[in-house]
Structure 1
Amino acid sequence: MRIITLKDIESGEEIKVQEIDDSKDTQSIDGYITRVIKTKWIYLDGGADVPHNFHEDLRNANLKSPIGNGHIVVDIQYVS
């Protein structure tokens, strides 16, 4: 999982978002458990969900890559 620091291009304000595990386990009638592996992104300040349309950009983020039209990636931290 990662924590990405984004910088607003106009204001210079920095925002941190975190990738979290949102996987689901379901048990079938015959007893087998299926795990659907999924992640989502939340704002570290307050824990609100990041809008879904930014998830793809965040998943593929590299330093200095744009996220949407108003932010760039300034730091990526890997956390467990």
Structure 2
Amino acid sequence: MLLHNSLLGWILIGLVAGILGKIIMPGKDPGGFIVTILIGIAGALLAGYLSPMMGLHVAAGWQSYAAATAGAVVLLALYRLVMTRRT
């Protein structure tokens, strides 16, 4: 089984995507670095789930990381939006 096709693979890619998402969107997050990495994992899982539904074929390698990072950035932006309005 290929790494990018498994749940564990997307979680591992999500760890990297969370870090890349933090680099792309620097600043103070309400939950800190650990929450940002968890959001990266959630973004990667979301990208892994939604991309086939949208007709996108995500191949192993850079495409997996790009999809996961995009998912992480989107979720991080939504998280910041929701959490800053709550406080």
Q: Do these two structures clear the TM 0.5 threshold for a shared fold by scoring above it?
A: no
Q: Which is higher, the Rg of structure 1 or of structure 2?
A: 1
TM-score by length of 2: 0.22
TM-score by length of 1: 0.24
